[in-house]
A and B are shown apart, each in its own frame.
Chain A
Amino acid sequence: MQAIEKAFGLVATPGVLISVLLASAFGMVIGAIPGLTATMAIALLVPITFFMDPLPAVGAMIACSAMAIFAGDIPSTLLRIPGTPASAAYTDEAYAMTRKGEAETALGANLLFSAIGGLFGTAVLIVAAPALAEVALRFSSFEYFWLAVLGLTCAIFIGAVSPLKGLISLFIGLLVATVGLNNPAGVPRFTFGYTELMGGVDFIPAMIGLFAVSEVLRAMVHGATDLKVTQSRVGNLFRNWGGMVRTYWRQQVRGNALGTAVGILPGAGADIAAWVAYAMSKKFSKTPEKFGKGHVEGIVESTSANNAALGGAWVPALVFGIPGDSITAVVIGVLFIKGLNPGPTLFINNPESIYAVFLIFILANLFMIPLGWAVMKGATVILRVPRRVLMPLILGFSMIGAFAVNNTAYGIVIMLAFGVLGFLMEENDIPVAPCILGIVLGPMIEENFVTSMIKSDGSFIAFFERPIAGVLGVFTILVVLSPLIGMALRRMRRPAANAA
């Protein structure tokens, strides 16, 4: 207990509080700008933190990443440009709410449940870090293969009018993911001799293209008529929040738990957490038909999940120095420089600094509410801008964002190509979201499959031999087969019904 008291003393200094606040504001801005991710915001902080004391340095990184993941929801809701990849899963849903005049409700839900999700992830981190890290460390390529396949099944549940068209979109994404040199064989595929293509298709420009540029093209081609609806005011913010918490407490708890769990696994972070949470929300919803048409339920679950994943990612990072996601990968480097070497010893030798880190987590998630509220209020001004002015601006920001990902015009080319692709797909009722999912999960599936086969000397049984892998495998196969089984049952029943 003495350590906790000490920790309070460490945190409650002007230096720590100011750096947390400044980093929060910085993260908020970066996260809200398309193309700039939470990881980039953190990487930019590295040279600055080098000249800071350990605690303010770590505090700045925590605050910055939490804000960036939340802020990604703002352009995603208002402009259909996911600010960070973690928002992509529910971009369409949130944008549909904006089209219905419920932008403020969507943003309010994003803010509230991001903060709660973040706090939940922190709570898990505090209570169970060492024990959970132990479980996560047992995951080898066999387990990850099943997880990735399970992730793919999300494509079936995320908003396709026809499952066949959802699958087409998914396979296009998977195929795109095979481009480049970054495959287990280390062989250039579909590069046609271009150096830039060796890097593959960076999925952030692709994402910006599929969501934002396709929307711009649609406006250009069909005419940019303004949204007919006026945005309804949320009124008393906190009363509305109370309603959402009551109505959707199940979704929220599930999103929190799932997000934290995905975050703890090394190699899967906030992005994947949001996808899986959204799909799960639809699967278990009493009103799945409302999904994709501007329904807050799925947003609640997935926005909770991506922020909860941030806390979860710190579990293996602090306990073993294994990054849970790309953000913690940067943070681990900083911890080393600051002499806070991650590892079990950190908890024994330096408990007060660990508690101080936890306190900053809590603080950052509490700061999120007033700061996020201010940014949201400012951002909704965008909705009053006529769409014929707004659309070219979206194009401009998308271009700069696509460039900034890797500082090359190649990013803009990818963005444009996927913008055209997305436009053609959506004009033909093929959803774009599964395509993004395919680009994200494709490399994970291939890598884990190939490495597993090398390890098992080509035996498929190995995918079920390890206990965790076996359970995951059977579960995944059941989930994959469940729509087929359902379809078969209906087929069998239908002739009977017709006859009657």
Chain B
Amino acid sequence: MVKSDIIIGLILTVLGVTVILHAQSFPAIPGQEYGAAVFPVLIASALAACGVLLAFGAWRRRASLAAVDVEHRMAGITPAGWMKGLATIALVVAYCLFADRIGFIPVMAVVLVGGMLMLGVRWWVALLVSAATIFVIYQLFVVLMRVPLPRGLLAPFL
């Protein structure tokens, strides 16, 4: 955990400093002594300070704990695991991009079936469960709650 703490600490520090610099462009408000930049700068400074503390603390621990450092949880992730994680993100992004045009039913089916296939569910189970889920979603959100889920290509039928 030592190495990751140092990295996170540094990332947070950089983030904090970036925010502070960016906030300088916020305009002052006539009649308000504490303008739009005050709070972001305050919070970003605190975040950067925490980042420095985290990195520094980990650096100091490094000497004493190097031999018995707990293995980082992310070290156990296989390349296939990483791929699946990225594929999941890709599925959600794909939904955002295509649901409007194609409609939520087919795209959601791709997300659900794709997710289940990645986790090793048999294909026919995945199909059946997805169909049932989409039916439930449709009834709850579209029929009962009138949420305007995109109809897309299926518009003539819905």
A interface residues with partner B (beta carbon < 8 Å): 29-30, 33, 36, 40, 44, 164-165, 167-168, 171-172, 174-175, 178, 183-187, 189-190, 216-217, 219-224, 386, 388-389, 391-393, 395-397, 399-400, 403-404, 407, 409, 412-413, 415-416, 420, 423, 427-430, 442, 445-446, 449-450, 453-454, 458
Residues of B within 8 A of A164 (CB): 50, 53-54, 57
The reply to whether B43 and A44 form a contact with Cβ atoms under 8 Å apart is no
Interface residues of B in 31-88 (CB under 8 A from A): 31-36, 38-40, 43-44, 46-47, 50-51, 53-54, 57, 72-74, 76-77, 81-82, 84-85, 87-88
The distance in angstroms between the C-alpha atoms of A183 and B78, with both chains bound, is 44
Main secondary structure of the interface of A (DSSP, over half): helix
Query: Given A392-B115, A416-B92, is A29 in contact with B144 using a C-beta cutoff of 8 Å?
Result: yes
**Interfacial chain B residues near A397, Cβ < 8 Å:** 137
Which residues does chain B contribute within 8 Å of A171, judged by CB atoms? 43, 46-47, 50
Chain B residues lying within 8 Å of A429, measured Cβ to Cβ, are 1
CB of A412 within 8 A of CB of B95, answer yes
Q: How large is the interface on B (under 10, 10 to 19, 20 to 34, 35 or more residues)?
A: 35 or more
Q: Tell me the complex Cα distance, A429–B4, Å.
A: 11
Residues of B within 8 A of A412 (CB): 92, 95-96
Q: Mark B121-134, 1 if CB is under 8 A from A, else 0.
A: 10001100100010
Among A167, A189, A221, A395, the residue within 8 A (CB) of B50 is A167
Q: Complex: how many Å from CA A429 to CA B129?
A: 34
Which of these, B12, B121, B141, B146, contacts A400 with CB under 8 Å?
Answer: B141
List of B residues within 8 angstroms of A423 by Cβ = 85
Cβ contacts B71-115/A at 8 Å (1 or 0 each): 011101100011011011101110110011000100010011111
Docked CA distance A386–B133 (Å): 15
Contact yes or no, A396 B141, CB < 8 A? no
B112 partner, pick from A168, A223, A392, A453, beta carbons under 8 A: A392
- Across the two chains, which residue of chain A brings its CB closest to B115? A392
Q: A36-B145, A409-B99 are in contact. List 7 more A-B contacts (CB 8 A).
A: A40-B145, A189-B40, A389-B119, A400-B141, A404-B147, A409-B96, A428-B4
Q: Are B26 and A416 in contact (CB under 8 A)?
A: no
Structural contact, B120 and A388, CB atoms closer than 8 A: yes
Complex: how many Å from CA A391 to CA B91?
Answer: 14
Closest to B92 in A: A416
- The 6 sampled A-B contact pairs (Cβ below 8 Å) are A44-B145, A168-B50, A184-B32, A388-B116, A395-B111, A400-B137
Take A30-B145, A223-B81 as given contacts and tell me if A393 and B112 are in contact as well, using a CB distance cutoff of 8 Å. yes
Interface residues, chain B, CB within 8 Å of chain A?
1, 4-5, 8, 12, 19, 22-23, 26-27, 29, 31-36, 38-40, 43-44, 46-47, 50-51, 53-54, 57, 72-74, 76-77, 81-82, 84-85, 87-89, 91-93, 95-96, 99-100, 104, 108, 111-116, 118-121, 125-126, 129, 133, 137, 140-141, 144-149
Q: Contacts A175-B44, A187-B26, A223-B81: A449 and B34 contacting too (C-beta < 8 A)? A: yes
Find the B residue at minimum CB distance from A385. B129
Known: A167-B50, A393-B133. A185 touches B36 (CB 8 A): yes
User: Which of A189, A391, A404, A458 meets B36, CB within 8 Å?
Assistant: A189
Please indicate the chain A residues that have their CB under 8 angstroms from the CB of B88 in the complex.
216-217, 220, 395
**Residues of chain B within 8 A of A442, CB atoms compared:** 43
Q: Is the CB of A187 within 8 A of B40?
A: no
How many Å from the CB of B145 to the closest CB on chain A? Answer: 6
Alpha-carbon distance A30/B27, docked complex (angstroms): 42
Which of B8, B84, B95, B96 touches A221 (beta carbons < 8 Å)? B84
Cα(A450)–Cα(B28), bound, Å: 13
Complex CA distance for A171 and B12, rounded to whole angstroms? 10
A33–B140 alpha-carbon span in the complex (Å): 9
| In the complex, chain A residues whose CB is within 8 Å of the CB of B43 | 171, 174-175, 178, 442
The complex places the Cα of A289 from the Cα of B85 at a distance, in Å, of 33
CB contact under 8 A between A190 and B22, given known A168-B51, A221-B81, A389-B121 = yes
Q: Say whether, besides A29-B140, A428-B8, A220 and B40 are in contact (CB < 8 Å).
A: no
- Complex Cα gap A386–B120 (Å): 11
A167 cross-chain contacts in B, Cβ below 8 A: 46, 50
Given contacts A220-B118, A224-B119, A393-B129, contact A185 B84 (CB under 8 A): no
| A18 CB, nearest partner CB in chain B, Å | 18
Partner of A396, one of B23, B40, B76, B112: B112
Give bound CA distance, A450 to B108, whole Å: 44
Candidates B34, B82, B115, B137; contact of A450 at CB < 8 Å: B34
